[in-house]
Structure 1
């Protein structure tokens, strides 16, 4: 799967953007209707990534996808956002073997993730949430909230009129 992903990513890089959608569909486990991905993008496997309908991934996205990364419908992902499904042990002896531990990432519907944000393993970002640019998200984000900072924290709840 890794070699296939590398091949497809090279092919995408050398293909005009209007002609890329079939290649993205071949790379990912799912790519919904009217969704758009801008190259360049990095992923390890591709098939563990599922993207819903009407979703946009801007250029420079990184997906460490040794586990499921699910991005819902109507999601906007800014440039250079990183999804880290992996981490490594705290114990330095275990790390010598490049041991990785994986936990899935879930981004629910109608989320906006600002540029250069980092979404860490095991995180769920609730529906309609906004992740500020440059945020490092280590914990679940409740629906209808704005988070930002490093580590990301809740800045405020979205009001009914804002939704």
Structure 2
């Protein structure tokens, strides 16, 4: 089947809207993609035209999208491009939608902490607790008392 797969790099323009549908979870948000170019006359980077896409996510991707994204965050979206044209009340309009296959934070702009979703675990997966990968402090008291070890702090997403 011929589908137009695209990869769009931009920023979350609207807060994701999450809905429980008969077919399963669904989420949507607007993605702003602004072209940037080097303006030789100004000797500086300049913003070009901004394109807006409605991004649609389904099933587990919808759940994770609603829990992970907020307005202004840089993201990368891969999905099927769907361009629709319609006439309403005498006005013709066109919309560009992305049926998302994958969504992630753009790590060129900051850090992100990954956490597995509850439905991602399988029965064959071990149920042992996650090991503490934090390097213990150098003082000898912390080595003898396990409760004195620091707990890892979650990474901030910028």
TM bucket normalised to smaller: under 0.3
Task: Provide TM-score, normalisation by structure 1.
Answer: 0.24
Larger RCO (alpha carbons 8 Å, 6+ apart)? 2
Larger Rg, first or second structure (1 or 2): 2
